């Protein structure tokens, strides 16, 4: 039995069949974490979590991209285009405090963090202000998570020309907060940094979330090395569904059930049984999210 520690069945890609997807997952698996990315999707995450007696939990948060711009991406999955719109929203700690306290199924703050991926759209003089706004909100979410004794689901994505730079800035920010007495629990989800950075996050007590990217046939050597060498006790498995569908389903809409392919690939890389990997990563998720 597996835990999908990060999915978005609250997104538009599941508007017609979210309940069926959830029921199919829970038939064979332990639990899934439905993660919010702004006020509206955080509320939907809670609605799904509250609907099920067991196995469905919620995280509430504001994606860093939504702090700065109304971007839009169209992604083709299963031959069908899905348009994901980011609607600019200012960080309001009281709003997210109320959301987090509205249900005992809320088990994390997230996803929150740093995202510089679209910075090539903007002029250079805008970027310092955008970075400052993301970091200010992130520190506010870290404070909220500590006050509520919840873990943080960290999102991080670098610029297209510098994929790991944002991870270094995230490391520095978290380290600074810890040095100032913050107690931070959490996971760096959909990890895309390098091995040295992964080790530093683990030294800070954080988990590393690994998605279907680890199954891809190209451009994943570093992530496979991370999956192979990091302590199993610090790894969470996830899909980030509907995105990043693993092999053999690349190009399709990702489903939480596909977390099995992530688990099997990591077990192969570590030279261990799938059952052992499943048991360990499920226990890791239970420990972090207290489910």
Q: What domains are defined for the chain?
A: 3-289 (3.20.20.140)
What contacts 283, CB < 8 A, 6 or more positions away?
none
What share of the chain has pLDDT > 90, as a percent? 88
Percent helix, percent strand, percent coil in the chain, to nearest 5: 45, 20, 35
Angle between helices 39-51 and 93-100 (to 10 degrees): 10
Least confident window among 27-31, 80-84, 130-134, 176-180 = 80-84
Q: Which two tokens stand for residue 191?
A: 């990890």
Q: What is the pTM of this model?
A: 0.96
What contacts 218, CB < 8 A, 6 or more positions away?
none
Q: Which two tokens stand for residue 89?
A: 């929203």
Peptide bond connecting 248 to the previous residue in cis, omega within 30 degrees of 0 = yes
Name the 3-class secondary structure at 145: helix
Of the candidates 46, 33, 136, 124, the residue with the CA atom closest to the CA atom of residue 93: 136
The pLDDT tens digits for 100-131 are 999 999 999 999 999 999 888 888 999 999 99
Of the candidates 100, 193, 107, 203, the residue with the CA atom closest to the CA atom of residue 155: 193
pLDDT of res. 70: 66
Is the model's pLDDT at 71 over the cut of 90?
no
Of the candidates 180, 175, 237, the residue with the CA atom closest to the CA atom of residue 212: 237
Is the model's pLDDT at 48 over the cut of 90?
yes
Is the model's pLDDT at 73 over the cut of 80?
no
pLDDT of res. 21: 98
> For 261-276, what is the mean pLDDT?
98
Is the model's pLDDT at 188 over the cut of 70?
yes
């Amino acid at each position: 039995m597996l835990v999908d520690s990060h999915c978005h069945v609250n997104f538009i890609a599941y508007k017609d069949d979210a309940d069926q997807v959830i029921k199919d997952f829970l038939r064979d698996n332990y639990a899934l974490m439905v993660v919010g990315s702004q006020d509206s999707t955080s509320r939907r995450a809670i609605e799904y979590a509250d609907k099920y007696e067991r196995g469905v939990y919620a995280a509430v948060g504001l994606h860093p991209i939504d702090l700065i711009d109304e971007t839009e991406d169209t992604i083709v999955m299963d031959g069908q285009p899905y348009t994901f719109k980011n609607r600019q929203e200012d960080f309001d700690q009281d709003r997210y405090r109320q959301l987090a306290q509205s249900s005992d199924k809320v088990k994390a703050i997230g996803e929150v963090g740093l995202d510089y991926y679209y910075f090539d759209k903007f002029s250079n003089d805008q970027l310092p202000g955008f970075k400052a706004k993301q970091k200010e909100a992130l520190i506010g979410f870290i404070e909220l998570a500590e006050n509520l004794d919840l873990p943080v689901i960290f999102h991080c994505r670098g610029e297209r020309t510098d994929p790991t730079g944002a991870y270094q800035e995230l490391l520095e920010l978290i380290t600074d907060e810890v040095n100032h007495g913050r107690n931070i629990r959490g996971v760096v989800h959909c990890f895309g940094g390098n091995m040295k950075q992964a080790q530093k996050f683990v030294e800070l007590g954080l988990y590393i979330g690994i998605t279907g990217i680890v199954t891809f046939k190209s451009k994943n050597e570093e992530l496979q090395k991370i999956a192979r060498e990091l302590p199993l006790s610090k790894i969470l498995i996830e899909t980030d569904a509907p995105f990043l569908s693993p092999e053999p389903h690349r190009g399709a809409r990702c489903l939480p059930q596909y977390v099995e392919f992530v688990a099997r690939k990591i077990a192969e890389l570590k030279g261990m049984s799938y059952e052992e990997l499943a048991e360990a990563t499920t226990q890791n998720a239970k420990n972090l999210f207290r489910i």
